[in-house]
A = this chain, B = another copy of it.
Amino acid sequence: MQSTPNYAYVRGQVLPLEQATLHISDLSIQRGYGVFDYFRVYNGKPVFLDDYLARLRASAQALHLPVLLSDDELKEVVQELIHKNAMPASGMKMILTGGYSANGFDPAEPSLVILQQPLNLPGPDMLERGIKVITHDYVREVPRAKTINYTMGIRLIEEIRRRGASDVLYQRDGVVSEFPRCNLFIVTHEDTVITPAENVLLGVTRKNVLALAGKRYKAKEGTVTLEDVYQAREVFLTSTTKRILPIVQVDEQAIGSGKPGEVTLSLLKDLIKLEEETSLVHKV
């Protein structure tokens, strides 16, 4: 078992990590052009991999990039990296760029890169206390595609820290959408669980949480305003690496009791159970 990977897949080859490079003509470096996806490895097995592969293909299609490998071929690479890197609890990222462009603008044969990363799930502190988030006026350019473009999210890291927050929620004209890397949920005072329907990435954790919430409460996709967020009884975010994280403050407004709520924490329990069941029965 290791804490860092030794190998990565780059343009058809599994290479020692220090040799895992792309030429500077690659369209990710020249023009930030590419898509990616990211899934977790749990007990040495990929979790919900088919969902992530389907989303990678949808993102690639939105940017007119062929994925190059079949799902079976991608799964073989994933297995090889899991075997060689010996990181049974980790994340794995698949990046597909516009390739080595002759003129630095027109896409070429794509570059496919697959790398494994250490995974840090939120600690008990964050779950017990919840987090503060700020808001920012922004909508991603191609919301349904998981592009590599995080210009806005990374540019805002300094402001997030300065304001004592952990993340930034995008809104436009008072309608909220998503975080740079997470989806948003609110729980109303009528126990309805709502996640924004438009201008969001269709998160795999979002989908699973929506289904789990539907078993216990009313749950739906819909329009969520900033005012809905401020007035919600509970607010939380979902993502592959964070699972479910309670949000107790948005901008300068405390949410509900100012503490992580019951609905949030019960859904987190359900989600962890689902992940464990899936990784026990999962076959690649």
Contact = CB atoms under 8 A, between A and B. Distances in A.
Interface residues of A, number: 47
A20 B26 contact: no
Interface stretch (A39-47, A103-111, A183-191): A103-111
B29 A157 contact: no
A27 interface: yes
Interface in A95-141: 95, 97-98, 103-107, 113, 115, 117, 138, 141
Contacts of A147: 32, 151
A243 interface: no
Contact of A20 (B24, B62, B150, B158): B24
Given A21-B21, A113-B24, A158-B64, A33 B151 contact: yes
A242 interface: no
A22 to B, nearest CB: 6
A112 to B, nearest CB: 11
Contacts of A138: 141
A213 interface: no
Contacts of A27: 154
18 contacts: A18-B23, A22-B24, A22-B29, A24-B95, A24-B113, A24-B115, A26-B29, A29-B97, A29-B148, A30-B95, A32-B32, A33-B151, A62-B155, A63-B151, A63-B154, A103-B117, A105-B154, A141-B151
Given A27-B154, A29-B95, A29-B148, 11 more contacts: A22-B22, A24-B113, A29-B97, A30-B95, A31-B149, A31-B153, A63-B155, A64-B155, A64-B157, A64-B158, A142-B155
